[in-house]
Amino acid sequence: MASTTPTTTAGTTAASTPGTRSADTGEVTAPRATVNGRECGFEGAAAHTSALDWLRGLGLTGAKEGCAEGECGACSVLVARPAGDGPDAGTQWTALNACLVPAASLDGQEVVTSEGLGEPGDLHPVQHEMAVRGGSQCGYCTPGFVCSMAAEYYRPGRDTPEAGGDLVPGTDATRPVEGEGDAADDPNAPHHDPVDHDHGPNGFDLHALSGNLCRCTGYRPIRDAAFALGRPTDDDALAQRTHEPAPAPVATRFASGAGEYLRAGDLADVFALRSEHPDATLVAGSTDWGVEVNIRGVRAPVVIGIDRVPELRTFETGPDVVELGAALTLSEIEARLDGRVPLLAQVFPQFASRLIRNGATLGGNLGTGSPIGDTPPALLALEAVVVLASPSGEREVPLADYFTGYRATVRRPDELIRAVRLPLPLSPVTAFHKIAKRRFDDISSVAVGFALQVNDGVVTKARIGLGGVAATPVRALETEAALEGRPFTRETARAAAAVMRREGTPLDDHRASAAYRSAMLGTALLKLHAQHAGRTTREEASA
């Protein structure tokens, strides 16, 4: 087994005490997952072994390592996840980067790989379209593309009988919670427009493939394959599976080699495990932790999986506040908000890729304290509040007070981020400007979140969050002051833009020069104003 699991620690054979404790009986059973319909154990895997290496060790070498950091999607596989909240939610086949998640985190779960979708001579519809249209050249990225494409193929509501499904114009996909959304006319807006070239006539959203890289084809034949897909047939086993509940999480206790992977059942369990293992690393989607493990060789003695803890997966929209659980994936938030927070609806398509958003969480994005995380600038503009939980209770911290320095926050060692709250009403004029080399799936060199109230042409409230221009995400306080109480005119925008140019302390790096970052701070408000003015003009024209 050692030879087939390359990342297993050598010479450490004995200390394996893998087990899964049944929630009902407390009985410990050996961890196992269902892969392509077959029960598979984790023998030989270490706690840090990725799902990718484990699957390849099983002889399923379709999934490939292209980058080991969730950037290329060559390792994409399908995992059965709940399609929504509640026991009747059904299952959504969710594509994940197998290189990033610990194999042990799949305990009790169902996985489908490219091999499980079809085989030569008996291809899955996705595989058929990819094959006949020239969607593969070297073929190395292809199994990953096939899995990402299959996830979108099975996405509930992708292609309803009403043709266009959730993409029909006039649906409320972009409706704001409160006030008037500005997403529809914004080039940064999410792609709900049915004539958008990112959507096929079959409702296929190309953003489903934004985390998959191909170096050979130039993508056109892959797009054609995606847009040619019909609906799953009635006897399609994976489609039928979506009507049943997803596998429930199990309380995994997996120890092998030098490390342990433990899955927490509920919040109390998290705190109990943490007091038992004070140095444990809490991991939800593992989209950041997986990179640490794979690229920087970091090994943790204990990893506690918190991605399925119910208290961290709250989703509530009340009259005064929207609460987003810290362990909801960004894809889940995106689907459940359904455009009701227009600023976040602009962020999501620009946040990494669908593959990452299927794992990444708000808690993780804030927990790493990165100065360039893409949600903080938007959340700062939305005046988000972080809910920190500890065994002694909860407290709320405004996000603006949360960051204290480079990757440092007010969060105490015994606390974790339980949720993020957005106060209502939302400011109606919002925009998210992400400056990066690549249009999608890139790290920002500068990110700006805007949320403005404009009453009778006067800016009554301005909140602006900035990323990538300081050691932490910051509010552009001076710029806000330069806007508030003034008419939202070009002159005001120019004057405030000059203030904003001087916010932060941008640096030179491989993503951008300091001069460019400053320049982008200087143009962002002008762009916002131009977009706003343009929209106003169009609205007047059509009125």
Partner 1 sequence: MSHLSERPTNPVVGQDLPHESAQLHVTGAALYTDDLVLRTHGTLHAHPVQAPHAHARVTGLRTAPALEVPGVVRVLTASDVTGVNDAGVKHDEPLFPDEVMFFGHSVAWVLGETLEAARLGAAAVEVDYEPLPSIVTVREAIDAESFQGAQPHLERGDVETAFDGAAHVFSGEFEFAGQEHFYLETHCALALVDENGQVFVQSSTQHPSETQEIVAHVLGVPSHEVTVQCLRMGGGFGGKEMQPHGLAAIAAIGARLTGRPVRLRLTRTQDLTMSGKRHGFHSRWRVAFDDDGRLLALDATLTADGGWSLDLSEPVLARALCHIDNAYWIPNVRVNGRIARTNKTSQTAFRGFGGPQGMLVIEDVLGRCAPLLGLDPADLRRRNFYTDGQTTPYGQPVRHPERITAAWDAVVASGELERRREEVARYNAEHPDTKRAIGITPVKFGISFNLTAFNQAGALVHVYKDGSVLINHGGTEMGQGLHTKMLQVAATALGVPLSTVRLAPTRTDKVPNTSATAASSGADLNGGAVKNACEQITDRLRAVAAGRLGVHPNDVRFEDGVVHAIGGTGEQVPWAQLVHQAYFQRVQLWAAGFYRTEGLHWDSSRMQGSPFKYFAYGVAATEVEVDGFTGAYRTRRVDIVHDVGDSLSPLVDIGQIEGGFVQGAGWLTLEDLRWDESDRASRGRLATQAASTYKLPSFSEMPEEFNVSLLEQAHEDGVVYGSKAVGEPPLMLAFSVREALRQAAAAFGPAGTSVDLASPATPEAVFWAVEEARAAGEGHPDDAHVEVAAPGDPGVRPEQPDADARPMQPESERAVGAGARP
Cα separation, 272 vs 133, in Å, equals 54
Residue 506: partners with Cβ closer than 8 Å, 6 or more residues away: 446, 468, 469, 470, 514, 517, 518, 521
Q: Which residue, among 287, 312, 304, has the nearest Cα to 419 in the 3D structure? A: 312
Q: Which amino acid is at 43?
A: E
Sign of the Cα pseudo-torsion (248, 116, 359, 193, in order): negative
Least distance to partner 1 from the beta carbon of 119, Å?
5
Least distance to partner 1 from the beta carbon of 349, Å?
10
For the chain, helix, strand, coil in percent to 5 are 30, 20, 50
Strand order in the sheet with 385-390: 315-317, 321-325, 416-423, 385-390, 393-398
Which lies closer to partner 1 via its Cβ, residue 178 or residue 185?
185
Which lies closer to partner 1 via its Cβ, residue 137 or residue 314?
137
Strand order in the sheet with 458-467: 429-435, 446-455, 458-467, 474-475
Q: Output the DSSP codes for 110-139.
A: EEE-HHHH-BTTB--HHHHHHHHTT--SS-
Q: Which residue, among 253, 371, 239, 230, has the nearest Cα to 305 in the 3D structure? A: 253
Tokens of residue 220, six digits: 């056109």
Which lies closer to partner 1 via its Cβ, residue 345 or residue 355?
355
Which lies closer to partner 1 via its Cβ, residue 278 or residue 296?
296
Give the strand pairing for 38-41 and 32-35: antiparallel
Residue with tokens 């203030």: 499
Peptide bond into 194 cis (omega under 30): no
Which lies closer to partner 1 via its Cβ, residue 91 or residue 287?
287
In eight-state DSSP terms, residue 218 is -
Which lies closer to partner 1 via its Cβ, residue 412 or residue 502?
502
Which lies closer to partner 1 via its Cβ, residue 82 or residue 371?
371
Sign of the Cα pseudo-torsion (170, 174, 179, 180, in order): negative
Which lies closer to partner 1 via its Cβ, residue 293 or residue 416?
293
Least distance to partner 1 from the beta carbon of 500, Å?
10
Least distance to partner 1 from the beta carbon of 282, Å?
22
Least distance to partner 1 from the beta carbon of 259, Å?
11
Which lies closer to partner 1 via its Cβ, residue 194 or residue 245?
194
Least distance to partner 1 from the beta carbon of 270, Å?
28
User: Within 10 A of 124 (CB to CB), how many other CB atoms are there?
Assistant: 21
Cα separation, 66 vs 70, in Å, equals 9
Least distance to partner 1 from the beta carbon of 297, Å?
6
Least distance to partner 1 from the beta carbon of 351, Å?
13
Tokens of residue 157, six digits: 């509501």
Angle at 446 between CA 148 and CA 508, to 5 degrees: 115
Least distance to partner 1 from the beta carbon of 268, Å?
34
Q: Residue 334 to residues 90, 177, 288, 346: CA-CA distances in angstroms?
A: 18, 14, 20, 10
Least distance to partner 1 from the beta carbon of 397, Å?
29
Q: Residue 138 to residues 116, 141, 143, 291, 361: CA-CA distances in angstroms?
A: 21, 8, 11, 26, 34
Least distance to partner 1 from the beta carbon of 443, Å?
6
Which lies closer to partner 1 via its Cβ, residue 353 or residue 430?
353
Which lies closer to partner 1 via its Cβ, residue 328 or residue 447?
447
Which lies closer to partner 1 via its Cβ, residue 20 or residue 375?
375
Least distance to partner 1 from the beta carbon of 389, Å?
31
Least distance to partner 1 from the beta carbon of 146, Å?
6
Which lies closer to partner 1 via its Cβ, residue 246 or residue 524?
524
Residue 305: partners with Cβ closer than 8 Å, 6 or more residues away: 102, 105, 252, 261, 262, 263, 264, 283, 284
